[in-house]
A and B are shown apart, each in its own frame.
Chain A
Amino acid sequence: MSMYRTRALVLKSRNLGEADRVLLLLTEDYGKLEAAVKGARRQRSRFVGNTLPFNLINAMFFTGKNLDQLSQAELIHSFAVLREDLVKMAYASYWAELIGEFVPERENVQEIFKFLLAALITLEKCDAPDLLNLAFQIRILNYLGYQPELETCVSCGDGSASLVHFSAEEGGVVCRRCGADLRDLIPVSRNDLRFLTALSTTDIRKLNQIEQTGVQLGTIRAMLRRFIEARLDKPLKTQVFLDSVLA
């Protein structure tokens, strides 16, 4: 049995049997992984309290036959606000699911760990997390190499033609001519595309400073949502909850 330590963000917690819990964690040094917390549902130790979703912890694991075991969890930062504000919780849960679905297990993803941490810190203090959420979506896609094509038509490669549509299925913008043969297109403007690019490069604490003239936020939301659903081939469970708390 060997042991390892790393910083980790708790993404999700589910019950296992009568007494245990299984955590999904994004760790700084060992990537995304699952680990059991023995007796988590029967004891009231500080250790167990430290394993709530969205907490940032110093974690120590023992390797196990099927599942590694979390043996120590020292709290670095409790994102309590994200558990007490329904809208923020909905966003944080959405991000956790996005990472749970897209990030492969046990791969080195230090950049994603650092970005998620920065995003959670920003979300904690943010009054209107809508832009932050859009930036989070596009950047996670970028980190994982799934970014949508926004410069040239994904169908014919023409960059000079007027790019007037976005196809989630094709994975990017399409020109007027190619769009004639495609279905489920989202009409987009130059301003929308410029805005989406700016979302992926601007400091996430300063998203409000991006020029919004002529930008349809509804279009940006639809592009990212349908693009993500097309890559996963299914809607995210947390999207339903997010929709219901924003309604």
Chain B
Amino acid sequence: MLYPHAMTRLIHELAKLPGIGPKTAQRLAFHLLTLSESEVGKIAEAMLEAKHKIGFCEICGQLSESSVCPICTDSNRCNGMLCVVEEPKDVITLERTRVFKGQYHVLGGAISPLEGTGPDDLRIKELLSRLQTGSFTEVVIATDPNVEGEATALYLSKLIKPLGIRVTRLARGLPVGGDLEYTDEITLGKALEGRVEF
């Protein structure tokens, strides 16, 4: 039996979300139909509001509701330390550890020669100009502990060291070949404390 048009459309749109296959999309669509109109309205509104209000911080590249994010405007976090991560979600993951008290820089990905992502596709120029004008004394490289993350870390250390700034990398102990996102807080906190000189 074919679904009514509106239902087909809803399933089709939901299936575009990452990790949602046709079966899950169908289940979600049926669930949405059982909710009250106001509940469905809240979900739809939240999606639209996030889309309208959230952009990227001009300084660090993190998701932000204002042109400069709360971390970049917080003078208590100007301790000379800058933590470089691949994705906005990595900032959230590191903030949960409550170990790091400095500022962040989001690259927007990692160097991946085979995928064609080179240094020019990342926010590396922005990083260098921050380092040249700012008062940073240490850069903590917190890219993923996989091949792309390591390549990015190596590349950055080569660029930053000549500026006379200390460059450190999250300590090993993180699962090799994994994603930062799937690492538990304790392991990540330890890795931050035990970071090592390049």
Contacts and interface: CB of A to CB of B under 8 A. Distances in A.
Given A48-B175, A49-B175, 12 more contacts: A17-B19, A18-B19, A48-B178, A52-B176, A83-B151, A84-B150, A84-B154, A86-B154, A89-B151, A96-B114, A97-B114, A244-B119
Interface string B109-147: 001011110111000000000000000000000000011
Given A42-B182, A48-B177, A244-B119, A238 B114 contact: yes
Given A13-B147, A84-B150, A245-B155, A40 B177 contact: yes
Nearest to B155: A86
A41 B151 contact: no
Contacts of B175: 44, 48-49
Contacts of B147: 13, 52-53, 83, 89
B177 A238 contact: no
B182 A41 contact: yes
Interface string B163-182: 00000000000011111001
23 contacts: A12-B114, A14-B115, A17-B18, A17-B19, A42-B178, A44-B177, A44-B178, A48-B178, A49-B175, A51-B177, A52-B146, A53-B147, A83-B150, A84-B154, A89-B113, A89-B147, A90-B113, A237-B113, A237-B114, A237-B115, A238-B113, A238-B114, A244-B120
Contacts, number: 69
Interface in A1-29: 12-14, 17-18
A79 to B, nearest CB: 11
Contacts of A18: 18-19
Q: Which are the 9 A-B pairs with shortest beta-carbon distances?
A: A44-B175, A237-B116, A93-B113, A241-B113, A18-B19, A238-B113, A49-B176, A86-B154, A12-B114
B158 interface: yes
A240 interface: yes
A41 B179 contact: yes
